[in-house]
């Protein structure tokens, strides 16, 4: 908390290897190292652009040679999943934890409550994932004073989230204080 330097490593792992080899050091590649006195903030796309270009190139396929069997084959690659801390999650997804939208599954339906004395958000509404007849759904005094009758939010694919401009609008590039034009930016986006 008191350090004045940040380092963000971006690692790539080969997932089509056997499970006991996937996370061995020799099969993990350091693709990008973002280092500096402050975190990159909304300018993370500047560091990710070369990686995204390479992944798009590999998605189309590249002819390579298999040294074991001495044959050529077409290699395809894709980004399967990402693991990030809360700060990186905010910068990559465009969700603002300062507005109480911290859940990557709930998106705009995130149930949050600002705790004035603790100066932070508490995320509520977890009982809606329980089965409809679960005992905890009807308990009100034991939780927040309400009975839970809602269904869980729908699950969206990455394409579905991208199409929902009203819910998640990525803001790329630095904005000046007081600038309320969330869709405007001065840099070319990803």
What are the pLDDT digits (tens) for 44-93? 777 788 888 888 888 888 999 988 899 999 988 888 777 777 667 666 66
What residue ranges do the domains of the chain occupy?
1-94, 96-168
Question: Is the per-residue pLDDT at 184 higher than 50?
Answer: no
Whole-structure pTM value: 0.50
Within 8 A by CB and 6+ apart from 6, the residues are 34, 35, 36, 37, 38, 39
How far is Cα 65 from Cα 56, in angstroms, rounded to an integer?
Answer: 20
Nearest-angstrom CA–CA distance, 45 and 190: 6
Provide mean pLDDT across the span 110-123.
82
173: pLDDT strictly greater than 90: no
Q: For residue 90, give the nearest of 2, 177, 8 by alpha carbon.
A: 8
């Amino acid at each position: 908390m008191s350090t004045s330097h940040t380092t963000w490593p971006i690692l790539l792992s080969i997932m089509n290897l056997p499970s006991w080899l996937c996370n061995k050091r020799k099969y993990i590649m350091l693709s990008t190292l973002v280092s500096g006195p402050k975190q990159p903030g909304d300018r993370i796309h500047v560091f990710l652009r070369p990686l995204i270009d390479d992944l798009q190139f590999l998605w189309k396929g590249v002819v390579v040679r298999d040294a074991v069997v001495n044959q050529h084959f077409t290699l395809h690659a894709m980004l399967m999943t990402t693991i990030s801390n809360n700060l990186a999650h905010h910068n990559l997804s465009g969700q603002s934890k300062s507005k109480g939208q911290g859940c990557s599954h709930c998106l705009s339906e995130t149930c949050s409550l600002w705790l004035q004395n603790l100066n932070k958000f508490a995320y509520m509404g977890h009982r809606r994932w329980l089965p409809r007849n679960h005992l905890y759904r009807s308990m009100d005094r034991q939780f927040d004073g309400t009975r839970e009758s809602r269904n869980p939010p729908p699950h969206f694919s990455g394409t579905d989230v991208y199409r929902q401009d009203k819910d998640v609008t990525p803001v790329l590039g630095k904005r000046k204080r007081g600038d309320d034009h969330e869709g405007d930016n001065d840099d070319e986006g990803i």
